[in-house]
Amino acid sequence: MMKKLLNVLNGEKVFPPPVWLMRQAGRYLPEYREIRKQAGSFLHLCQNPALAAEVTLQPIRRFGFDAAILFSDILVVPHALGRDLRFEEGRGPIMTPLQQSDIARLNRDNALSVLSPAFETIKKVKAQLSDNTAIIGFCGAPWTVATYMIAGQATPDQAPARLFAYHYKQDFAALMRCLADVSAEYLIGQIKAGADCVQIFDSWAGVLDEQSFAAACIAPVRYMVQKIRAACPKVPIIAFPRGAGLFYRTYAEKTGVTALGLDWTMPLSFAAKLQEKLPVQGNLDPLRLMAGGEVLSQGVEAILSALQYRPFIFNLGHGIMPQTPISHVDAMLNQLRALR
């Protein structure tokens, strides 16, 4: 059986639409929390192919999603480049803030070797998936990864990275090129290991003005798409520039991605316009899923009413929240699967 997700990415309308959820393997699942304890640290979990494969498969076993997504983190790329990285409970990822002088010292030569556990994870997952379930590889977009590297942690509006880009234009361009190169190679490695498609997460695309968006979001991803297509011409590439708003249209045109992931703030009328040009994915508010009940069913219905007529993948507009009740995920899937 052909994978429903790939049918949509190849431009077909499938109804009911295929469904998977960003962060579908994670803290809302008790079986994930058990594996997380075994791993000792989040980074160790990402780097242990046996445990990472188990976590990747958990939501497929429980919910029967149409795709599994590699369990990892967007910040494994700077870690592979030699930057220190740790994850603290309640604070998230922490790194030593990047200085100008650090950029030339990023260790590209060894990066793919450090990233190789992800390739092994994909092979293990692929061996256990049914023929109709796709596996998605992923990485962070250069801009979003750079924001964490420069600030050393998450910040509300990514001011440190924006200022760095304004003050040190050439250094910032060198960082973007390094991240785009290594990230593209990382995705190519995932594809060669068995990923059916890949997704590029640009979680902080929404904080940039028009010029900066073109330079930091569009240009590096366009470069990555060209590099991936040169090596793997038939593999679909989904991009998720969260918060891009009206820039979504230009992003789709200029990056050349196969499909767009949409955040929950995207008006469905605008989403349907984008869908005339390429498949779209999304875009239920994760808090509707967390709330459940009528607000959940209304959100699902509104999205389907607007987007079911062209190629569409059902997903959230960002990652599932850790506090989300499992019964709400079941309710959402029951609503989708009852469609005829």
Residues labelled catalytic: 23, 27, 36, 73, 148
Q: Which of 232, 243, 316, 245 is nearest to 274 (CA)?
A: 245
- Identify the sign of the CA torsion 234, 240, 246, 247: negative
Answer whether 311's CB lies under 8 Å from 13's CB.
yes
- Residue 250: partners with Cβ closer than 8 Å, 6 or more residues away: 214, 218
* Pairwise CA distance, residues 204 & 59, whole Å: 26
CB count in 10 Å sphere of residue 141: 29
DSSP letter, residue 19: B
Output the furthest CA–CA distance in the chain (Å, rounded): 59
Strand, helix or coil for residue 117 = helix
The angle subtended at Cα 188 by Cα 53 and Cα 93, nearest 5°, is: 55
138: β partners: 199
